[in-house]
Structure 1
Amino acid sequence: LAQNSFDNEHLEKWELIGIGGFGHVFKVKHKKMGHDVAIKLLDMEGALFKEAKYLETSSSDYVLRIYGIYEGIPPFSKAKLQTKGIVTEFMRRGSIETLQKQLNCTPPVPLAFRLAHEVALGINFLHSMGILHRDLKPSNVMLSESLNVKLADFGLSTQSTSANTSNEEKAAHGGSLKYMPPEAFEANYTPSRSYDIYSFGILVWSIFTGEQPYKDALEFVVKMKVPEGQRPPLDQLFVENKEQLEELKTFICQCWEGEPSKRPTTKSMYSCNTFFSLHLRGKYQVIFNLKKKNKNKKQGLMSQYLFLIFLGMACTVGLSKV
């Protein structure tokens, strides 16, 4: 790997910010760089270098940037054992999941479209590099200071062996259960780009509703019902913008289609025509709705909403340049 090597010399103020199936993530102050970085300590060294390889290869505005590899003994370590980790840019605004918890409601429609659009651009880039993500979900979509998307957590990424979705490398069971396509529940399956397309459909549903799919469902129920065709409910999704978002509803259904071959291709998925047009049509209605919802909100939340309203207005300019 060509990245820089990091040790404890310039690192201070380790703060645990996340725990996942592959390890722990810390916010750490890098004194020489003058800002915070994120250090992900992985439980398995092989997984660490695999993820570092994907992050290094995936140099894009929509993929989390890697600074290098950490090797040392973290100050909190009781065992005093040498540990390795990945050093990446620190996303102060967290992830889409963080945003959902902060808002405690659906995001402004213009912002929701921009988030979905940029995730699609990130997926398209990964697929163009022959890489599958295989763990798309709100907590793995990081947000910059201006709420732009950065795809993260490539611990389950699988490198494609071909440009064809029908000829790709087999991989072990992976991904987050509620975002996995029905074919992934089979004992032996071949992961393909259509896996990410399905997950994207569920993710877009989550972005626009502010909810998690199958929130109260037990694991075995999800494994049984998803292959039978059950999906998150769409009936309450577009109550306020039904006419404007009908095209998006159709698009989501195409993405989470049970038959992989019937899902959109990567290129058609990231096509922005629908996102642009719906975003523009919904701008003023979004601002009106947010003002109405904010009447009974605490003053502490007002600054967040005002920022999002401003961002929603600005999106019409920013998106057209992507």
Structure 2
Amino acid sequence: MADEIKYPAGFGLKDVASQTVIKTPLFEDCEHLVSREREIYERLAQRGGHEGILCYHGTVESGIQLEYAPNGDIRTFFEEQGDAIPLEQRLRWATQIAEALGFIHSAGIVHGDVTCHNIFLDEGLNAKVADFAGSSLDGSKLLIGVTASHECPGSTLSTQGDIFAFASVVYEIMTGSPPYTGLSDAEINACYKQSEFPDTASLGEIGAIITKCWLAQYDGFEAVAQDLREVGT
């Protein structure tokens, strides 16, 4: 079961017990990343936590103890299930992620690396945002590079940076692939700088929300989540 959860390079899964995982630095030069993630999880916990974020169970030795998500990350789950995932489930994920990111931003945090690889699924297939090792706390610099297909052409250290990346996440949830799969990073960056994005017309109301996120037409995740909740009603 342990190898079902994949973390970014520099981290290792030390143990799985009592429905939790222990995340520790794999190398000494990664200790500052674990420290940043610990600070962020503690900030989120102090504010009451959120059901859309992996539950934090405190520190263990040099690492942190987190809720175990038995269904792995959304990208891996999608690769295994594909077209079998109903639209209602996909929309639920999008809404849960938006609500969680709204809470995260209210705590003075910019995630900076919002991708389907960093969103996990619990036993009930609820989306759980995770991986804050590279995130910004109270305006501190991001400690991780942003994936090109999710990188805002403006500032990535901003609410808009996470909203832009969220749009790419929802696009992948709805289509099965990240934006502009097959293009180089430089080609993707060039498209985004010219405000050229994948066509979302076939995705209906959800496609319109994705495009509004890419075009920075939302001020925050509260409005994004509200629009998602209204889809199909």
TM-score for the superposition, normalised by structure 1: 0.64
**Paired AA for residue 174 in structure 2:** F
Answer yes or no: is 1:24 the counterpart of 2:8.
no
**Paired AA for residue 13 in structure 2:** F
Say if 1:16 and 1:254 are closer, same or farther in 2 by CA, change over 3 A. closer
Unpaired segments ≥5 residues, structure 1: 1-12, 72-83, 162-168, 185-189, 239-244, 281-322
Higher relative contact order (CA 8 A, sep 6+): 2
Say if 1:263 and 1:15 are closer, same or farther in 2 by CA, change over 3 A. closer
Aligned to 1:136: 114
Identical-residue share of aligned pairs (%): 25
Say if 1:114 and 1:16 are closer, same or farther in 2 by CA, change over 3 A. closer
Aligned to 2:22: 39
Tell me which protein shows more helix as a share of its residues: 2
Q: Residue 56 of structure 1: CA displacement?
A: 2.0
**Paired AA for residue 174 in structure 1:** G
**Paired AA for residue 270 in structure 1:** A
Q: Count residues with an aligned counterpart.
A: 226
Matched-pair contact (CA < 8 Å) for 1:132–1:196: yes
Matched-pair contact (CA < 8 Å) for 2:200–2:211: no
SS in 2 for 1:18: coil
Aligned to 1:70: 60
Alignment of 1:1-322 (within 5 A): 15=3, 17-21=5-9, 23-26=10-13, 28-30=15-17, 35-42=18-25, 43=27, 44-58=30-44, 59-71=49-61, 84-105=62-83, 107-161=85-139, 171=142, 174-184=145-155, 191-235=157-201, 237-238=202-203, 245=204, 247-257=205-215, 260=216, 262-271=217-226, 274-279=227-232
Matched-pair contact (CA < 8 Å) for 1:132–1:157: yes
Describe the superposition over 1:37-92 as per-residue Cα deviations: whole angstroms up to 9, x where unpaired.
22222241111111011112222111111223333xxxxxxxxxxxx322211100
Q: Residue 109 of structure 1: CA displacement?
A: 1.2
Max Rg structure: 1
Say if 1:176 and 1:279 are closer, same or farther in 2 by CA, change over 3 A. same
Q: Residue 29 of structure 1: CA displacement?
A: 3.3
TM-score for the superposition, normalised by structure 2: 0.86
Describe the superposition over 1:90-138 as per-residue Cα deviations: whole angstroms up to 9, x where unpaired.
1001121122111123731111111011001101101111111111111
User: Aligned equivalents of 1:181 and 1:202: distance in 2?
Assistant: 10
User: Aligned equivalents of 1:178 and 1:36: distance in 2?
Assistant: 33
Q: Residue 14 of structure 1: CA displacement?
A: 6.4
RMSD: 2.4
**Paired AA for residue 37 in structure 1:** T
Say if 1:17 and 1:61 are closer, same or farther in 2 by CA, change over 3 A. closer
Unpaired segments ≥5 residues, structure 2: none
